[in-house]
Structure 1
């Protein structure tokens, strides 16, 4: 029988979950949550488990921050005893259905859940390989998340990217499919690629990423070869206006991705064009 109880606990007594893959962003959604809690209070208890003299938060990291912003002395918490793997699975599942999850968040969440479920399953049964067990587990995760087994594995591949490249995926500067292929490069090759991207203001297409992956496997992806591939003119880059993201940052909220900035710029240009068109009539 699961031991659990509801208690009013100070937010500072709740430590974030270890290696929590989801970012707690201070954005417009957080402002709305703060205002909702200010008016209605915390309607749904947070979920935590005992951890030494304090408690480890399993679900409710955004509500915890909102409560801290409001200076609430306590919040309602469902305290439940659970194993490490049970806590990981609950933590991942409680956030996977959120809108606007970043690729890196899904990547590390899927990886943590896959590893926890494999540990729960234990050693493979007779005549069943570890690979088969891994694929079966990924199928379950995909089914629960509304994605295919292969998509789950492709997201998990992103965890092999060096942090600067993974950040570019989150920012929308590197597309998902090329990013998956780039994850097969060695860390040194990835570091060299990131440096080249910054210097040349160019990102690899899927075709280029596939070539880099193949050459990496053949131990032929030298810095010179990387440069030649990356600086090739792509068909969709001809006569393209390129503005460095850093030049635009000061005009947008800090949590905006490159794609969000592009959409806002297009909206402003369209509004200006309509206003000019009306003025000329």
Structure 2
């Protein structure tokens, strides 16, 4: 299966920023600081322990990449890529780690950190959404530009950015894998956080598919909209009934409903005797 191309590619981005001929050097782990642009917020302890055990056995096979960081005149380093290896090496008790020095600026560093995680497909959708949002806020660019850099379509970026508007509890459901992007996207169609939260809980409890979630959102919107309109229509029709009732001197009822061709219904006038019937018909024939 052909591997999907992602933006300019992590390899080409790294090659363009290599210092000192791209040599691998051993760096003191205590001199390396985490990447402030790291989009991942959750590192599974079990996976880190497994990687640490592998590192104890075979060492760090793939070097991390770093850049210089001037810490009060003392040159230290900041991770660009390889935070799992960095964390696992510390768990394994290593003092140093193989590294390649690069010369990224902040924006490029943020882009590379995001691309690395996207290529490995280990970001959850909320982490990905928040990373896109942080990039756009820190380095204003069009969504089309960001999409090109990430190797994604503009609609994909737009849809992922929309996830940032979800209530905190719903975001956590996505982080925990209880909801997929397909299941949670219809939730955004609802107007209030309370409605969104209630629907998200319902999707999880009932195990609804993405399609069923879309249908549920549509039902909720359609049910809510007529409720407001029905009240307004009922008040209007009642006022008409009263006016017509006064005109004919009898009780008037109007039935009104929506059809594919538009609105239709009936107007009925009550009478209690033959004399009243004749009076009403005579009045209507004038």
> Normalised by the shorter chain, which TM-score bucket?
0.5 to 0.7
Contact kept? 2:38, 2:110, Cα under 8 Å? no
SS of equivalent to 2:80 = strand
What are the Cα deviations for residues 88-108 of structure 1, in whole angstroms up to 9, with x where unaligned? 111111121114532223223
Of 121, 126, 131, which residue of structure 2 is paired with 1:104? 126
CA distance in 1 between counterparts of 2:182 and 2:218 reads: 10
The residue aligned with 1:55 is 77
The residue aligned with 1:12 is 30
The residue aligned with 1:240 is none
The residue aligned with 2:148 is 140
Give aligned pairs, total. Answer: 199
The offset of 1:182, in angstroms, is 3.2
Question: Does the alignment pair 1:179 with 2:184?
Answer: yes
Distance 1:36 1:115, change over 3 A: same
Contact kept? 1:46, 1:60, Cα under 8 Å? yes
Gaps of 5+ in 1: 120-132, 221-281
The residue aligned with 1:153 is 158
The offset of 1:113, in angstroms, is 5.0
CA distance in 2 between counterparts of 1:64 and 1:77 reads: 10
Instruction: Give TM-score scaled by structure 1 length.
Output: 0.57
CA distance in 1 between counterparts of 2:166 and 2:184 reads: 8
CA distance in 2 between counterparts of 1:76 and 1:179 reads: 41
Question: Does the alignment pair 1:209 with 2:227?
Answer: no
The offset of 1:4, in angstroms, is 2.3
CA distance in 2 between counterparts of 1:213 and 1:85 reads: 41
CA distance in 1 between counterparts of 2:172 and 2:122 reads: 15
- Structure with the larger strand share: 2
CA distance in 2 between counterparts of 1:14 and 1:211 reads: 53
The residue aligned with 1:265 is none
CA distance in 1 between counterparts of 2:190 and 2:32 reads: 39
Instruction: Give TM-score scaled by structure 2 length.
Output: 0.56
Question: Does the alignment pair 1:41 with 2:39?
Answer: no
Gaps of 5+ in 2: 1-15, 229-286
Distance 1:108 1:195, change over 3 A: same
Contact kept? 1:9, 1:77, Cα under 8 Å? yes
